Amino acid sequence: MSITKCLVLALSVVASVNALATPHAARNSIHHRSVAARVAEPRSVNAGLAVAPRAPTTVRKRCRARPSSSSSASSSTVSATSTPPINAAPIPTSTSTSTKTSSTVQDEATTTTTKSTPAPTTSKPAATTSASSGGGSAPGGFLAGTQNGQGTFYDTGLGACGDVSTDSDPIIAVSHLLFDTYPGYNGVNPNNNPICGKKIKASRGDKSVVVTVVDRCGACKMTDLDFSPTAFDALTNANRGLGRVEITWEWA
């Protein structure tokens, strides 16, 4: 009995397995046939999918910018401002501002002429006129009376006073100390020194000579005089070999 049950049970199991195997094989065959059928068709794999149609490509045109509220406001502002106000004063004409009366023009011309004419100036100090005349004593009692010093001679030519002299002229060069401190000289232009043209009477013993100041001696002491050769001869009897002699002098 147990053997029979075991046999039946084994057969039922085999039948069940066979029943289960048969539909599976059918499904696989159908699946393979459907795959083969789809491969044979000249259609795309994605043919079964629903694809939305693509919109045709069109050329987009640039749209004109719509006028904004700000631009319209500015245009309205410009138009508003371009309109002159009702109560504006009239624009002055060039004729009213540039018109001058003939009397005003004449007065301005007279004023310009008066201002452009400078006052006449003197090119030389007033003291130069009195100095060029020669003679007389020094102003303010400068080195008044008889002075003692030494006399020498030099080769003449262009002097500090601006005059050209020769050896035969009765002239002298005074000390630079006397020349630079003479009253009225400002130390700028030696030609304008008031001492230029002054007369001096020099003496040595019983000999004397009147000479004119025309030059400046840089090596002389305050009261020394440097004569032209002719003036030196008048004091030394033409003995120039003495070179340096004692003298006295005063303003002539």
pLDDT in tens, 125-158: 333 333 333 446 788 789 999 999 999 999 999 9
Give the residue carrying structure tokens 């002159």.
84
**Distance separating alpha carbons of residues 220 and 249, to the nearest angstrom:** 15
For residue 176, pLDDT beyond 80:
yes
CA proximity to 161, closest of 215, 108, 95: 215
Mean pLDDT of 10-30: 64
Q: Does domain 148-251 have CATH number 3.40.50.300?
A: no
Q: Where are the domains of the chain?
A: 148-251
CB 204 within 8 A of CB 245: yes
Residue 18 has pLDDT above 80, yes or no: no
Distance of alpha carbon 162 from alpha carbon 207, whole angstroms: 29
Where helices occur in 134-200 by DSSP H, the ranges are 176-180
Across residues 170-193, what is the average pLDDT? 95
Q: What is the pTM of this model?
A: 0.47
Select from 235, 208, 217, 202 the least CA-distant residue to 156. Answer: 217
